[in-house]
Amino acid sequence: MIDAVVATRDSKEMVLDCVERLRSPLLEQVIVVDNGSVDGTAGALREARPDARIVQTGRPEGLSFAYNRGAEAGSAQRVQTDVSVQLDLGPRFEVRGQRLQTRRERQATVQ
């Protein structure tokens, strides 16, 4: 299973479209890190995708910080933070860009 982590700041419409497309039987959960948005992103996400987990940083902290908070909030064996991920609406999982990393690999690259 995979956790998909999406970081956003003041991009409500774009992130709503993004999380709507993140549907696959291989996803354990979709985690959205609201990195200090003031445009109502978190509320719109709660309404549109109540199954998504929303992590709010309270203030802008940077992309790496947001991805790390999202990875910490997850529980799947693998985490994907690359925003170029594309999920098919069918049963397969397709990645374009970097490969998926295990949590251990992700932690090693962050430290």
Alpha carbon of residue 53 to chain centroid = 9
Q: What is the pLDDT of residues 50-78, one digit of tens each?
A: 999 999 999 999 888 999 999 999 999 88
Q: What is the pLDDT of residue 87?
A: 39
Stretch 104-111: mean pLDDT, rounded?
51
Q: According to the model, what pLDDT value does residue 23 have?
A: 86
pLDDT, position 1: 87
pLDDT, tens only, 12-50: 998 998 898 888 888 999 999 999 999 999 999 999 999
Q: What is the pTM of this model?
A: 0.74
Position 98 pLDDT exceeds 70: no
- Give the pLDDT confidence score for residue 31 in this predicted structure: 95
